[in-house]
């Protein structure tokens, strides 16, 4: 690592190769170099060849920071997810990443760790980086955050839920409808005492919507809503196992359990295997989100398929359209969900 740039001294002397350098060596003006690189069709073949040769010779990489400042377009989109680690978000990020890359955009990813107060700070930081679009998973936002976004005047997509009043655009599914549909499905399969294990409810509209959907379905099924059948658990295999055991012990007549998180459901399933409880003979298990894993366990697990990749892809496509000049109209796309009936229910 030679010649570290350490201050103004090095700026003029050993500074980076600039467009002017390339221009000088190619015998053209800097503007021609700029055009040859960003819109090759706008310069003549002769010029383009000269520029390309010089670019290759010096291994020139244009400075996009300068380009962004000048053009007021950063070509970076920001992403705030509750947890990079969760494979559900990973599937969405992957899809966004693919579409972004195909359109010459870069991704800046930030992790809110499910903390609402951090989201605001992260969005501020991304806006300071002048991202040209933003994807937020959360859809409960502080007032200040909404103001920030309004002032920033960039396209924003919410993906975690279908908010009643989206900030700008939303691509998601209804957590309420999904949980209601699955609970209803269990009821129609004949289960009478259906437990529900929810992920933490604090600062999490998705969790709350799912619980609301569960209760709505019970009412529709004409089943009593027993608060004792509802447990809150942080995500995790052990927590799912633990929740199931507690429900079975406190409510021996429980015949089905709906887990609002896939990992919880799998943890519970393994616990049943360990204890020799037949699934679905002793208790049926249903899950939320179609982890690949659920298709391979023994028994396979009934679940809700949420098209996470579609959410990512369509979000990115909407952003790209806007950046290409589409008129800024509120869009609210419901990607829907699907009940996948398998052996566990």
Partner DNA sequence: GCGTTATGTGGTATCGCTACCAACCTATAG
Partner DNA sequence: CTATAGGTTGGTAGCGATACCACATAACGC
**Contacts with DNA, residue ranges (CB under 7 A):** 7-9, 11-12, 15-16, 18-20, 28-32, 34-35, 37-38, 42-44, 46-47, 62-63, 66-67, 69-73
Strands 338-340 and 302-305 come out as antiparallel
Q: For residue 90, give both structure tokens.
A: 């990973």
Between vectors from CA 133 to CA 129 and to CA 139, what angle results, nearest 5°?
A: 105
Q: Judged by CB under 8 A, which of 3, 13, 227, 281 binds a second copy?
A: 3
Q: Judged by CB under 8 A, which of 74, 161, 204, 287 binds a second copy?
A: 74
Q: Judged by CB under 8 A, which of 103, 111, 140, 321 binds a second copy?
A: 111
Among DNA, a second copy, none, residue 30 binds (CB under 5-8 Å by kind): DNA
Nearer to a second copy, 260 or 294 (CB): 294
Q: Does residue 11 touch a second copy according to CB under 8 A?
A: yes
Nearer to a second copy, 116 or 216 (CB): 116
Nearer to DNA, 28 or 134 (CB): 28
Q: At closest approach, how far in Å is the CB of 57 from a second copy?
A: 13
- Cα distances from 37 to residues 20, 26, 43, 152, in angstroms, run 13, 13, 10, 29
- Taking the C-alpha atoms of residue 130 and residue 99, their distance in angstroms, rounded to an integer, is 20
Among a second copy, DNA, none, residue 270 binds (CB under 5-8 Å by kind): a second copy
Helix 116-128 with 143-152: angle, nearest 10 deg: 20
Classify 332 as helix, strand or coil: strand
Q: Judged by CB under 8 A, which of 18, 29, 103, 106 binds a second copy?
A: 106
Nearer to a second copy, 186 or 272 (CB): 272
Q: What is the DSSP string of 86-104?
A: SHHHHHHHHHHHHHHHHTT
Q: What are phi and psi of 183, to 5 degrees?
A: -60, -45
Binding mask 146-185 for a second copy (x = CB under 8 A): -xx--x-x-x------------x-----------------
Q: Judged by CB under 8 A, which of 22, 36, 99, 110 binds a second copy?
A: 110
213 Rama sector, left if φ>0, alpha if ψ -120 to 50, beta otherwise? alpha
Q: Does residue 323 touch a second copy according to CB under 8 A?
A: no
Q: Does residue 331 touch a second copy according to CB under 8 A?
A: no
């Amino acid at each position: 690592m030679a010649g570290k740039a350490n201050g103004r001294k090095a700026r003029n002397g050993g500074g980076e190769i600039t467009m002017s350098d390339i221009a000088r060596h190619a015998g053209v003006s800097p503007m021609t170099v700029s055009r040859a690189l960003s819109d090759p069709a706008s310069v003549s073949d002769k010029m383009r060849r000269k520029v390309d040769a010089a670019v290759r010779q010096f291994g020139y990489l244009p400075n996009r920071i300068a380009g962004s400042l000048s053009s007021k377009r950063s070509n970076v989109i920001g992403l705030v997810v509750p947890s990079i680690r969760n494979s559900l978000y990973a599937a969405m990020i992957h899809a966004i990443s693919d579409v972004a890359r195909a359109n010459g955009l870069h991704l800046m990813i930030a992790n809110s760790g499910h903390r609402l107060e951090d989201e605001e700070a992260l969005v501020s930081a991304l806006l300071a980086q002048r991202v040209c679009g933003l994807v937020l998973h959360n859809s409960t936002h502080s007032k200040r955050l909404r103001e920030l976004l309004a002032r920033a005047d960039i396209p924003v997509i919410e993906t975690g839920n279908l908010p009643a009043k989206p900030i700008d655009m939303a691509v998601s599914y209804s957590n309420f409808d999904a949980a209601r549909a699955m609970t209803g499905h269990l009821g129609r399969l004949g289960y009478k005492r259906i437990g529900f294990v929810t992920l933490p409810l604090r600062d999490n509209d998705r969790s709350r919507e799912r619980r609301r959907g569960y209760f709505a379905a019970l009412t529709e099924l004409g089943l009593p809503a027993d608060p004792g059948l509802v447990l809150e658990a942080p995500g995790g295999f052990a927590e799912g196992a633990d929740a199931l055991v507690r429900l079975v012990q406190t409510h021996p007549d429980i015949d089905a359990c709906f887990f609002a998180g896939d990992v919880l459901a799998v943890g519970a399933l393994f616990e049943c295997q360990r204890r020799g409880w037949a699934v679905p003979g002793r208790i049926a298990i249903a899950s939320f989100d179609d982890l690949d894993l659920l298709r391979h366990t023994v028994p396979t697990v009934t679940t809700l398929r949420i098209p996470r990749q579609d959410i990512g892809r369509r979000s990115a496509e909407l952003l790209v359209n806007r950046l290409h000049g589409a008129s800024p109209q509120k869009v609210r796309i419901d990607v829907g969900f699907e009940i996948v009936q398998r052996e566990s229910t």
